[in-house]
Amino acid sequence: MIRHLLLILLLALLVAPFPVAAQPPSPITITVKAGLDGEGAFRAGYWFPAYVTLANDGPDRRVTLEWRDSSNSALTQRYVIDLPGGARKQITFPVVQSGRTAQLIATADGQEIFRQRINLNQLNNDQFAIGLLSADPSVLSSVATADFAVGMRAVMLPLDPAALADQPLLLSAFDAIAVRELTSDLRPAQREALLLWVQQGGVLLIGGGAVGDQAIRAFADVLPVTVGPLRRDAPVGELERLANLSGISNFVPSLTANTVTLRPNAQALTNDGLISQTTLGAGKIIFAAFDLAALRAWPGESNLWARVLDLQLRIELDIGAQFRFGFNDLLQNSLNTSLFPLPSTMALLALIGVYIIVIGPINFLALRRLRRLEWAWVTTPLLIVIFLAAAYGMSFALRGTQTQVLQLAIVQSAATGGEATTTTFAGIFAPQRQSYTLTFADSALVTPLRIDERLVIEHNDAGLAIPDLLLDAAAFSTLIVEQITTSPVQIRHQIALNGQRWSGTLANASSIPLRDAIVVHRNDMQWIGALDPGAEVAIDLRIDSDNFLRDFMPTEEDRLFNRTFALENLFWNVSNRFDPFTNGPALPGDDIYLIGWSDQAAPVVQINGAPAAARGETLYIITLR
């Protein structure tokens, strides 16, 4: 009996909970707001910001943030930050996403201190995205019901001026941004990012009136007009004409608007100066001299803004998103040459023939002459090993020991040159199984092309890097590197639409020779060929010729890339993105483009801390009008 009681007491002690010291809370607090609007909006494959705020009430720590896409476990996006005691920092973490959920995980000294699930709202590709800077988020809400010229609708995304991205690539998912009033001053970096985004094809709408003073001051030097004082009772008849609708005076009899003076090269959309616009690079800036909220009572408001914004499908800032996380390797598929010389058929047949003769008759005859046929158990495996070593040595010699970097850069700019969006497909060929550390410019954004490629992209104090990238022997890894650069190509042109033809002249005003150049409008093409520095050519492009990438193009064949194939791959992909039922490749929108090649490509990657000798070519896509 006593023995049973002792056994029961022992079991009770074993299963009884032991007091465990409570783990102290982390002295580091973290908050995160992600998305184009800070509320989770994003486009799949496009960059967007995650705003992370960190505060440290303890000792100095080094914090590692990891963004993990729940739909893509292969890619880890990492941000490493030093956080001294008592510090509070806010960082803009550029991320790219393919699914609707993600996780942000923070570790310090190998210990997890924070984990949060991020729910995201994916925008449809058949919607224009319009950002709104206004204290009233309902301004321009009617635009979401407008039918734009290409049959698409729009989604309005209210933005916080304090959290507006200061990198133009983080704005690339927006088609337009409207500014009614600024509740706080924009930082210089935010303003510069907005203007660079416009230069790459964005549309910036700025409102005036009684609430627009701060916005007018912020963009005074780039507006299409010089803005004067307010005037009352401005007539609204010109807005009726522009919207092609009547009856506005029944809802809005008159407006309070700024007086304006049109600047040179600007365009007045209304004869009374209420709305005007100017081009900036491949985009445009529109100024409405009245409060953007003044027309909300008018049922025709959506028609007016649809005509004013005139949003068009565009390829600017879109190429990386279209190829990212797919299996269409534009770089590798367009190669015109092998990465290393392959042995000829005759050499392989000779090797096989020698192997058969040596391991068969010669081995047998030699052993019979020595009267040691039983040695075949030794000589046959030995000869196999010798020939395997010879074959491996041949393969090693052909692959070489030098890591190869191949680049296909696509530069999108305006005719005047200046800032450009550069998307570089950079391929790393590893002759032997090896780990690499790749480093890039601080301003670059990098992802793998394939969704199944496992790697880590790390932002840190030293810049942007991919540490410990392990590649097998003869492996080829393609990365997409996106950044804002300065285009060296400038084009001088006078091209106008005369009836059914684009006609005029075009000249290369830069020192960069262009090869295999063509002028393209939608799916119409005129072949130019070589366009040397200072050369001028006549343009006579017939509309509806439907010959883009259909007519024979005498491209230079002895080049690194098959240029015709690269264009077909690129523009068939772009055409299918905008119109899945398209009958052929076409450039979206009403712009006219010059497309040409250069035999050089600026290196974008360093390998193990040393500049990589890269072979490459550059494709220039230049918006002319």
pLDDT at 473: 79
pLDDT at 580: 46
Give per-residue pLDDT as tens, 87-122.
999 999 999 998 899 999 999 988 999 999 999 999
Across the range 304-318, mean pLDDT stands at: 79
Domains and CATH numbers, the chain: 28-121 (2.60.40.10), 127-312 (3.40.50.880), 345-399 (no CATH), 402-625 (no CATH)
Taking 60 as the threshold, does the pLDDT of residue 403 lie above it? yes
Across the range 586-591, mean pLDDT stands at: 77
pLDDT at 398: 59
Give per-residue pLDDT as tens, 525-538.
999 999 999 999 99
% of the chain surpassing 90 pLDDT: 48
Taking 70 as the threshold, does the pLDDT of residue 7 lie above it? no
What's the rounded Cα separation, in Å, for the pair 594 and 489? 11
What's the rounded Cα separation, in Å, for the pair 322 and 447? 13
Q: What burial class does residue 48 get, using C-beta atoms within 10 Å of its C-beta: 0-12 exposed, 13-18 middle, 19+ buried?
A: buried
Confidence of residue 482 (pLDDT cuts 50, 70, 90): very high
Top-ranked range on mean pLDDT: pick from 268-277, 312-321, 349-358 = 268-277
Q: Say which range, 46-50, 313-317, 446-450, 577-581, has the weakest mean pLDDT.
A: 577-581
For the entire predicted model, the pTM comes to 0.84
For 11-46, list the strands marked E by DSSP: 28-34, 41-42
What's the rounded Cα separation, in Å, for the pair 324 and 445? 12
pLDDT at 200: 84
> DSSP states of 180-230 as a string?
S--SSPPPHHHHHHHHHHHHTT-EEEEE-GGG-HHHHHHTGGGSSEEEEEE
Top-ranked range on mean pLDDT: pick from 306-320, 370-384, 534-548 = 534-548
Give per-residue pLDDT as tens, 117-140.
999 999 988 889 999 999 999 999
- Report the 10 Å Cβ neighbour count for 532: 11
Backbone phi, then psi, for 167, in 5-degree steps?
-125, 125
Across the range 18-43, mean pLDDT stands at: 80
Top-ranked range on mean pLDDT: pick from 153-157, 353-357, 586-590 = 153-157
pLDDT at 314: 66
pLDDT at 358: 77
Report the Cα–Cα distance between both ends of the chain, in Å, rounded: 101
Q: Say which range, 3-7, 194-198, 574-578, has the weakest mean pLDDT.
A: 574-578
